[in-house]
Amino acid sequence: MSDYFPQEVLADILLRLPTKTIGLCSCVCKSWHSAITNPTFVHNHFTQTQNDNDRRRLFLLRHFPETHNRERYSLHSDNYAFDKVQDLDFPLQSFNRHFRIVGSCNGVLCLSDDTTVITANFVLWNPSIRKYISLPRPLVSCSSHGLFTFALGFGFDSLSCDYKVVMLAYLKTKYGFYSSRRPTVNVYSLNTNSWRDVSATALSYRVVEFLWTQVFMNGAVHWIASTHDIGLKLERFNKSPFGNLILRFDLAHEVFDKMSLPESLVSSTQYELSITVLGERLSVVQFHRRSYHACSIWMMEEYGVAESWTKWLEIGLMYEIPDRRRVVTGVEVQNHDAGQPLSNVYGDKIQKQWGNTFAFLETWLMDGLVQPRIA
């Protein structure tokens, strides 16, 4: 069929189609499949999607209904109506009931089945084209290093055109605590489908276990971290220094550095803080210590400039949020008790999803054709 018109015309026609339709077209014939999976076509599709406000972003909602034994995902429009675009067919079954959404980049989701380090399983999934890959085991493991806690990061290395996952593993000390002294750092490359150890570049800061959040921005992964180390305090028999900051990992050069937080957040409890990107600006959500019925949002107006932090908004929440990671600003998301509704509130319009609140999670997802597969 493609013999009747030039390849560039075919590519131009395909680029105008919805991603789901493009995926179906890839099954028409070998020449169409080759054209659609060509890296140049994938790049052009991604660029066009970025520049198209109607196709640019979707809102991904994950929840775990009490009446089902499997987590569910759905895509919603990025507007006040929060219209459901489609339900997604999730191809995986979690060992720990539901996956953690580490982050998304160019339409690819990084998922972690990580309730315990023993059962931890990592996956890259593109729901738009229904493709996924399970990652091999990291170099650090319980059998080789003993018990440890860890945090993950996910993003795109534009220099090598490679998707990478970074793992910060905090090993158990002789005092029984997980040290914040230099973590063991493993980096996964999709191009090679393998992990490498880059621990030599690590800095001695601790990313809080379990409730950690991460964002990918400006070529780097960012986490909330601190200098606090209980084990170090006991070892030196004095008060160890304490302070929150942003730990940054450059995916292209695979090096760490740090960024400052607003002064009022430096001494906050680390569990109060969640990092995100809002309006293309690096942002931090602070949940008030005495009551999680309210939170403040700080934005870094100029990336990398500590003096540009601005307290942008303070929000009163209808209910206490059991898991403080789950506020996404732009859509005000509020959780109730388990089995109660997740509500998105715009004026007098309330939308509800029923299920287990601890399985609710939201993230932005760019529509794209990137295939999570070995290059």
Q: How far apart are CA 114 and CA 102, in angstroms?
A: 10
The pLDDT of 336-341, averaged and rounded, is 38
Q: Is 157's pLDDT higher than 70?
A: yes
Q: How far apart are CA 108 and CA 42, in angstroms?
A: 13
Q: Which two tokens stand for residue 136?
A: 């091999």
Q: How far apart are CA 147 and CA 319, in angstroms?
A: 36
Beta bridge partners of 62: 73, 361
pLDDT in tens, 76-131: 776 666 667 778 888 888 777 778 889 988 888 999 987 665 667 899 998 877 88
CA nearest to 103, candidates 269, 226, 220, 185 = 220
Q: How far apart are CA 116 and CA 107, in angstroms?
A: 27
Q: Which two tokens stand for residue 218?
A: 């400006």
**The pLDDT of residue 314:** 81
**The pLDDT of residue 100:** 85
- Provide the 10 A C-beta neighbour count for residue 119: 11
Domain-wise residue ranges, the chain: 7-47, 94-259
What are the b/e assignments for 232-259, b being 16+ CB within 10 Å?
Answer: bbebeeeeeeeebbbbbbbbeebebeeb
**The pLDDT of residue 67:** 61
Q: Is 371's pLDDT higher than 70?
A: no
CA nearest to 88, candidates 105, 111, 110, 63 = 63
pLDDT in tens, 21-44: 766 766 667 777 777 666 676 666
The pLDDT of 291-316, averaged and rounded, is 87
Between 43-47, 49-53, 310-314, 368-372, the lowest mean confidence (pLDDT) is in 368-372
Q: Is 7's pLDDT higher than 90?
A: no
* Average pLDDT along the chain: 74
**The pLDDT of residue 53:** 57
| Three-state SS sequence of the chain | CHHHCCHHHHHHHHHCCCHHHHHHHCCCCHHHHHHHHCHHHHHHHHHHHHHCCCCCCEEEEEEECCCCCCCEEEEEECCCCCCEEEEECCCCCCCCCCCEEEEEECCEEEEEECCCCCCCEEEEEECCCCEEEECCCCCCCHHHHCCEEEEEEEEEECCCCEEEEEEEEEEECCCCCECCCCCEEEEEECCCCEEEECHHHCCCCEECCCCCCEEEECCEEEEEEECCCHHHHHHHCCCCCCCEEEEEEECCCCEEEEECCCHHHHCCCHHHEEEEEECCEEEEEEECCCCCCEEEEEEECCCCCHHHEEEEEEEECCCCCCCHHHCCCCCCEECCCCCCEEEEEECCEEEEEECEEEEEEEEEECCCCCCCCCC
Between 34-48, 134-148, 293-307, the lowest mean confidence (pLDDT) is in 34-48
Between 124-128, 216-220, 230-234, 260-264, the lowest mean confidence (pLDDT) is in 230-234
Q: Which amino acid is at 227?
A: T
**The pLDDT of residue 80:** 60
**Range among 47-51, 143-147, 282-286 rated most confident:** 282-286
pLDDT category at 166 given cuts 50, 70, 90 is very high
Q: Is 247's pLDDT higher than 80?
A: yes
The pLDDT of 147-166, averaged and rounded, is 91
Q: Torsion angle of alpha carbons 313, 83, 73, 157, nearest 10°?
A: -60
User: Are the C-beta atoms of residues 245 and 225 closer than 8 Å to each other?
Assistant: yes
